[in-house]
Amino acid sequence: MAGVSVDISFDKAESQNRLADLIDRLSDRQGFYEDVGIMLMDSIAQRFVDQKDRQGRPWRPLKPGALKARERERQTPLTILRLNTKGCAGTPLAGSINMAASAEDLRIGSPVVCAAIHQLGGTIEEDARQAKIYRMKDQDRHVGRRFIPKSEANHVTDVRIPAHKITIPARPFIGISVLDQVRITEQAELWLTF
């Protein structure tokens, strides 16, 4: 025969062993889901640092009142969804992100109550209520305008706080980015070949 020919041989036993290994691997995907979960947890942690959603869009900035409140509490006012008090970074929200991997799926979330409203945004309706404000009365019996802790106060005023709404913008931190999708595909290819 003239030209080029290719001789292919097929080792049935080796192919069956490799196929059986692949079937075993597909029946217990927990290792794969754990690897993907670790990768996604790193991605989510970086979103808190970058203050951006999964598409790379910046989160809505804090309102002036929130910035002032943070300054009063000696927090870095420029970070969103993270506190920076006395050099310690992180919040219950950022630190609460966790994962659970099984042979069937991967779940990533937070048990913190405020997680959903920060992820999705929403409006909180506060009912009217009675409260006390604590201030300092000087020697001339003038009451200061500044609120102070109860332990430092010598004057208490009962006040009525009217019903009001607080709107929290969505600042999504959980989700799969385009880069995450690429990494998940690469992880799947690696997992299936070894």
Q: Are 85 and 72 in contact (CB under 8 A)?
A: no
Asked whether residue 77 is domain-assigned, the answer is yes
Asked whether residue 151 is domain-assigned, the answer is no
Q: Are 75 and 94 in contact (CB under 8 A)?
A: no
Residue type, 17: N
Asked whether residue 76 is domain-assigned, the answer is yes
Q: Can you spell out the DSSP letters for 100-158? A: EE-SS-EEEE---TTHHHHHH-EEEEEPPEEEEEEE-B-TT-PBPSS---GGG-SEEEE
The tokens for 1 are 């025969």
Q: Which pLDDT does position 86 carry in this prediction?
A: 47
Provide the domain count of the chain: 1
Domain span at residue 24 reads 14-115+171-193
Please give the average per-residue pLDDT across 129-133, as a whole number. Answer: 91
Please give the average per-residue pLDDT across 20-44, as a whole number. Answer: 86
Asked whether residue 18 is domain-assigned, the answer is yes
Asked whether residue 43 is domain-assigned, the answer is yes
Please give the average per-residue pLDDT across 19-43, as a whole number. Answer: 85
Residue-wise pLDDT for 96-109, tens only, equals 899 999 988 999 99
The whole-angstrom separation of Cα 116 and Cα 96 is 13
N-to-C CA span, the chain: 40
Q: Which pLDDT does position 83 carry in this prediction?
A: 60
Q: Are 177 and 43 in contact (CB under 8 A)?
A: yes
Asked whether residue 137 is domain-assigned, the answer is no
Q: Which of 120, 96, 123 is nearest to 108 (CA)?
A: 96
The whole-angstrom separation of Cα 62 and Cα 143 is 31
Asked whether residue 157 is domain-assigned, the answer is no
The CA dihedral of 83, 89, 94, 100, to the nearest 10 degrees, is -160
Residues 6+ apart with CB under 8 A from 142: none
Number of H helices, E strands in the chain: 5, 8
Rama region for 141: left / alpha / beta (φ>0; ψ in -120 to 50; rest): left
112 pLDDT exceeds 70?
yes
User: Whole-structure pTM over 0.85, yes or no?
Assistant: no
